[in-house]
Structure 1
């Protein structure tokens, strides 16, 4: 059956950026925020807090406000991604950012009040039955709140984030979405968006891949000074906040936001560093098959076989639904609903944002997926990845507002798990050695991305922030740091890497989530561990998986994994289980191509 390649935003708020419905929603949101401010002020004025009921009532209000704010934010994000020059949407973005600032100020004041409750009273208070639902998040707020800053200091920081911080992230998105690339494809000169040009990395013709790679590098070079300014301003603001808050380790906040300990992250990276050779060998073997002594960066995403049929969007949808049905009925029905109800924007045209994403609309219990579908298997996997995020949102549908907020490392687990389902179902149906090699290659690309590319991002960002503490970092130095990180993370097995990875990797510019890199590697290895459990239990595992996702917003990740899988993720033994699967893939690829 034919599926729409354009999403339906009107079913959420009719009329786009001129929507009266959306204007009414923003008015409601303003009322919610006013109520929160008054409630927090009243709460702060109490001489003693020894009753859990009013705290629970306030937390319910905060949760509702968060849901309304998320709904508004997602809508405007979708509007700007489909048309970055929508001036009305830009104005709406400014209003929502202001609302977010007010919300954060109110939350900051509440957290300080909670942090200042004397310990004996707190121990009694937190055990109140009315607060059972919020025990984890309240404890987290209390333990991780900086009480050194005054209310005025908290308010000033929140205000400055509007124009002095988040606006740089929005400027980055607008800038890169407006950039055009002129490339010859299949004998025709084409004007493409950055997203369309990036899609050419999997084009079957090496000449096209190479031209796209070098043309993009030239385009980035032309604007490198502007991108360097944006990145320096984002990092500079973040470092000032850390300094005022007494934070010296730039990883402290990312780790807290991901609800994992440094011991867990170090255990994961330790295993990744230990197993570089199998993936370096895979890259070398693939390069040899393509007639080069080492893997050229522009050939990394190249298909392993010469004749790859184009996949139409309708075919992709049918394939995804069919493969999801092997895992469970819930995931299958969810995917059908997403395709049938216009949740996906997949049209291939040049006036679009460069980057795929999944936006959650918690008020209506929906999601929207944005991507550019160019007809390749890589596009299918991108779509599956975003559907995995959307399924996570679906699993959280019945969870209250504040406990819907799950860490990024678990978000990337859900998306990667969806990819694993597709790979496994496809590998079970292979009918030839050539087809198996194609699928193994696509799977191994993801291992390389998570164990080498993401590692290079982590190394780059860690070193960049250390240098940024001493002053502005030039574009020339950013290029050097990027190249050094890539050479180290890839063990020198990638030739002609993108010097400007720091420009086109959007995660460096996400102001809400610093160090958005290690969550991908975490999610990848964690998803492999979960998938091994799914293979053991069959379709009945879907219920367990949904329960794990549902719990992902109300406990640390260490506790989540122990509760649902009985595993200790601070140990390298846990991470080696997932790594063993990936190493076997690399060894099988070498054997099949010998």
Structure 2
């Protein structure tokens, strides 16, 4: 996620790749950040930092207060020229921030990385303060003048999607001095508490039988076959989260209040409206999605977990059994090379061009795969800038879910490569559609594996895992969204205690998981480790949006005679130049149609039906 990383920090040595070898997993790759800069102390990095500073000041001196006049001109004095210069600066700053961010997330516990993170963020904020006027001043120009400018100036016309998109921010735009204050204060408010969360989480260790484990390894215990191992992992997580709740509660309260202040000054009506605006999606579309998913809880998660409890020989599962493997699931660790070949083969069967792009991530060291102390947990794909290439971070432990995560993040990577041709200003896809390629990549990989599986027991295990992944992507993420809504709403009335937040967490979890899962002591702390609540409030609905959208998209693909791949690639190449309604129209899909979400959810229900049929025939 680019907005999690921009302005971040330092240098990760490729020599540590040799130490990241495990007998079962094989050689796990680490990324080669030298494609961005040789190091944080290189003349290339320091030179670009100085260059960006000089050019930001020069840009402000050249264009500030003159854009209205420039809108009536063409060529070197026109808005189109200003946009080209602005985009070139955005490219340099984006490259600096990407290098700093990716190296910081390679090891957030390294104090040298932390310093670079802070220094780079401060510099980028300083540069941005000189560029802030540009969007604000453009939005003060009459729409008719800008429309005429785009029509007569080819350079300005090129940026039409960006300029039209910019207008949507107009109602929430503040006076210039206030905007500058908000920007500069972000360093000591939201950005500071984001960093506190990341570094605190990276330092946490979870005691399991005397062994101090990092977060990813401990979370992975919840997918082990042995119920006692799952219980120990769950209790270790709960204990350490509880010991650190004071910090996480402070972070949550501070960021919720910070957002409330910003929303109030900008006159956003709803607590999630700023996210909807950033995603370029209408509030009623998201409301319809959330309502459809909540209405489907009994048919999806409640029903599935009841079936799973029976398969595990339980009347009711403990909360740590939610992602437990079925008895039919193989214990074998999936080597890295096998995971790579599985994903590339699935991509190739859909479109060789897609596999060719994904293969570059492996061949050219664009992936960081090993689990290690200090490394950021989870997984992400960061687009960097169009003049470079994306990078993928995973924490690979050889589980089937890790293969699906790899397929997911490579989907993002392919999307980012294809959208890069739109340039730095227009390549970024709104988050709602940014999950399309990733979830589609997962689906391709799953379907390829399922088609090659003839054994009923193996097929049941695979179907069950896919259903769980889809429930985690759709049901769980909408429950997260509802939790955030409750937290941010309650925060308006005053500061929340850890117990207050825990109660809100349990209320949405019990509703979404259903009666087949026993929510016992300890689970009330599990809200604390979810990074999306910290880095990107209300981001989580994008996963459910993407999954339901892809379910509908995949159904179109299954019925299509020809031409689907070409239309799909056009969707990805569009980046941020088109609204979701325009991108989905060639496939006959419309997210504003109330029945759209029901169609997407019906695919999950169909997989549960297939599981039930397999169970009865066994």
Does TM, normalized by the shorter one, top 0.5?
yes
Q: 1:569 aligns with which of 591, 595, 606?
A: 591
Tell me the equivalent position of 1:178: 203
TM-aligned CA deviation for residue 123 of structure 1: 4.1
- Are 2:397 and 1:374 aligned? yes
In structure 2, distance between residues paired with 1:149 and 1:423: 47
Matched, 1:201 2:222: yes
Look up the SS of the partner of 2:64 in the other structure: helix
Among candidates 464, 481, 499, match of residue 504 of structure 2 = 481
| 1:367–1:393 Cα contact (<8 Å) kept | yes
Aligned to 1:145: 170
Given the alignment of the two structures, is residue 89 of structure 1 paired with residue 75 of structure 2, yes or no? Answer: no
Matched with 2:238 is: 217
SS of the residue aligned with 1:552?
coil
1:394 to 417, 421, 427: 417
C-alpha spacing 1:88/1:28, structure 2 compared with 1 (3 Å): farther
Which ranges in structure 1 are unaligned for 5 or more consecutive residues?
A: none
Q: Deviations over 1:163-190 (max 9, x none)?
A: 1221111111111011111224xxxx53
Separation of aligned partners in 2, 1:492 and 1:134: 53
- Aligned pair 1:336/2:359, yes or no? yes
1:315 and 2:338 aligned = yes
C-alpha offsets along residues 307-337 of structure 1, whole Å, 9 cap, x if unaligned?
A: 4211111211122112221111012112221
Equivalences for 1:273-292 in 2 at 5 Å?
273-279=294-300, 280-292=302-314
Mapped partners of 1:357, 1:88: distance in 2: 23
Q: Cα offset for 1:399?
A: 1.4
Instruction: Name the SS of the counterpart of 1:25 in structure 2.
Output: helix
Q: Which moved more, 1:61-70 or 1:400-409?
A: 61-70
Secondary structure in structure 1 of the residue aligned to 2:383: strand
Deviations along 1:223-263, one digit per CA (max 9) or x if unpaired, are 00101111111111111111112223112111111111112
Task: Tell me which of 165, 179, 188 is aligned to 1:154.
Answer: 179
| Pick aligned residue for 2:263 from 232, 236, 242 | 242
- Kept after mapping to 2: 8 A contact 1:193/1:352: no
Residue in 1 that maps onto 2:548: 525
Q: Determine which of 42, 58, 76 is the counterpart of 2:100.
A: 76
Deviations 1:557-586 (A, max 9, x none): 222222x32322111222222222111001
Distance 1:199 1:344, change over 3 A: same
Q: Which runs of 4+ in 1 moved over 4 A?
A: 1-4
Q: 1:116 and 2:137 equivalent? A: no
- For residues 371-520 of structure 1, the aligned pairs below 5 Å read 371-496=394-519, 498-510=523-535, 513-520=536-543
Q: Is the 8 A contact 1:282 1:590 kept in 2?
A: no
Question: Is the contact made by 2:202 and 2:373 (CA closer than 8 Å) also made in structure 1?
Answer: no
Q: Distance in 2 between matches of 1:355 and 1:174?
A: 14
| Alpha-carbon separation, structure 2, partners of 1:367 and 1:535 | 30
Structure-2 change in CA distance of 1:12 and 1:548 (3 Å)? same
Distance 1:477 1:37 in 2: 47
Q: CA deviation at 1:416?
A: 0.8
Q: Which secondary structure state, in structure 2, belongs to the residue aligned with residue 403 of structure 1?
A: coil
The 1:330/1:47 distance shift into structure 2, 3 A limit, reads closer
- Structure 2, gaps ≥5 residues long: 1-24
Aligned to 2:207, the other structure's residue is in SS state strand
Tell me by how many angstroms 1:126 deviates. 4.0
Distance 2:193 2:402 in 1: 29
Question: 1:411 offset after TM fit, Å?
Answer: 1.4
Secondary structure at 1:572 match in 2: coil
Q: Secondary structure at the match of 2:496?
A: coil
SS in 2 for 1:95: helix
In 2, Cα distance between equivalents of 1:175 and 1:106: 32
Instruction: Output the CA distance in 2 between the equivalents of 1:507 and 1:344.
Output: 22
Select which of 537, 540, 558 maps to 2:581: 558
Equivalences for residues 39-50 of structure 1 within 5 A: 39-44=62-67, 49-50=71-72
Q: Which residue of 1 aligns with 2:48?
A: 25
What displacement does 1:210 show?
A: 1.3
> SS at 1:127's partner residue?
helix
Please give the secondary structure, in 2, of the residue aligned with 1:10: helix
Once residues 73 and 595 of structure 2 are traced to their aligned partners in structure 1, the CA distance between those partners, rounded to angstroms, is 44
8 Å Cα contact 2:479-2:508 kept in structure 1: yes
Give distance in 2, aligned partners of 1:524 and 1:558. 16
What is the rounded CA distance, in whole Å, between the counterparts of 1:324 and 1:358 in structure 2?
17
Q: After TM superposition, give the deviation of residue 137 of structure 1 in Å.
A: 2.0
Q: Helix, strand or coil for the counterpart of 2:178?
A: helix
Q: How does 1:288-299 map to 2 (within 5 A)?
A: 288-299=310-321
2:356 & 2:146 partners in 1: Cα distance?
45
CA contact (8 A) 2:358 2:413 kept: no
Aligned alpha-carbon RMSD (Å): 2.2
Q: Is 1:302 matched with 2:338?
A: no
Output the CA distance in 2 between the equivalents of 1:125 and 1:575. Answer: 40
C-alpha distance in structure 2 between counterparts of 1:412 and 1:578, whole Å: 14
Any idea what SS the aligned residue of 2:392 has?
A: strand
Which deviates more, 311-320 or 214-223? 311-320
The 1-side partners of 2:56 and 2:180 are apart by 15
TM normalised by structure 1 equals: 0.93
Q: Do the aligned partners of residues 373 and 52 (structure 1) sit closer, same or farther apart at CA in structure 2, a change above 3 Å counting?
A: same
Deviations 1:520-552 (A, max 9, x none): 000111112222233334785333222101213
- 1:108 positional shift: 4.0
Q: Which residue of 2 aligns with 1:586?
A: 608
The verdict on how the C-alpha distance between 1:126 and 1:489 changes in structure 2, with shifts beyond 3 A counting, is: farther
Contact 2:238 2:525 in 1 (8 A): yes
Moved more, 552-561 or 431-440: 552-561
* Aligned counterparts of 1:225 and 1:308: Cα–Cα separation in 2: 38
Q: Aligned partners of 1:451 and 1:361: how far apart in 2?
A: 28
CA contact (8 A) 2:381 2:391 kept: yes
Once the two structures are superposed, residues 337-390 of structure 1 have per-residue CA deviations (whole angstroms, 9 ceiling, x without a partner) of: 111111111113334222221122224431221122111101111111111111
C-alpha distance 524-545 of structure 1, shift in aligned 2 (>3 A): same
Q: How far off its partner does 1:80 sit? A: 1.6
